[in-house]
Amino acid sequence: MVTQPGLHDNDLVLWVQLLAETLNNELLDRLRVDFPDVRYAHGFVFQQLVEGPRPVGEVAENLGVTSQAISKAARELEALGYVERTPSPADARVRLLALSARGRAVVEAGRAGRAAVNAELATALGAERVEQAAATLRAAIQARDAMHAVAARRVRSAQGLLDAGR
């Protein structure tokens, strides 16, 4: 018999997923005040570009999706004014993606929104509990040998999202 998760279950996967979805939705709601067309999936592309222009193929490889999926996302993001596509100075056949001024603004707004959410959680729960929770989550990521993927911005949760329109 399948049982429903209870409020007191210690299912870390469930609670982390629910918290992440809740906080991501809150952050998107805040971002959409000034950037009404931003979607969750856009953030995966933005994170690939925060350190500078990158070839479409590299972004695709880092996200574990096809170059066609990134090209499609890039056309959408360019139409929305978040990215610019230019030929590579080294090879005109290679297209580089870069954040536009609007793209950099949405990234900064996202960072400010995350800082605000963290501050709100610290107020509600206490700064020490929030620090302990963050340390525990970092340790869990390290225990799963995933810190290298996080540091390299190669977390592959973008699979399916870029095509699904989320």
Note the pLDDT of residue 148.
75
- Structural domain includes residue 6: no
**Per the domain annotation, does 83 fall within a domain?**
yes
Going by C-alpha positions, the residue among 28, 33, 38, 6 that lies closest to residue 114 is 28
pLDDT digits (tens, 9 = 90+) for 137-151: 999 988 888 777 766
**pLDDT range class, residue 50, cuts 50, 70, 90:** very high
pTM of the model: 0.83
Total structural domains within the chain: 1
**2: in domain:** no
Q: Within a domain: residue 3? A: no
The answer to the question of residue 7 being in a domain is: no
Q: What is the phi/psi pair of residue 84, to 5°?
A: -125, 140
Domain interval for residue 75 = 12-164
Cα distance between residue 166 and residue 161, in whole Å: 6
Task: Give the model's pLDDT for residue 10.
Answer: 84
- The CATH number of residue 40's host domain is 1.10.10.10
Q: Cβ(83)–Cβ(30) under 8 Å?
A: no
Count other C-beta atoms under 10 Å from residue 157's C-beta: 12
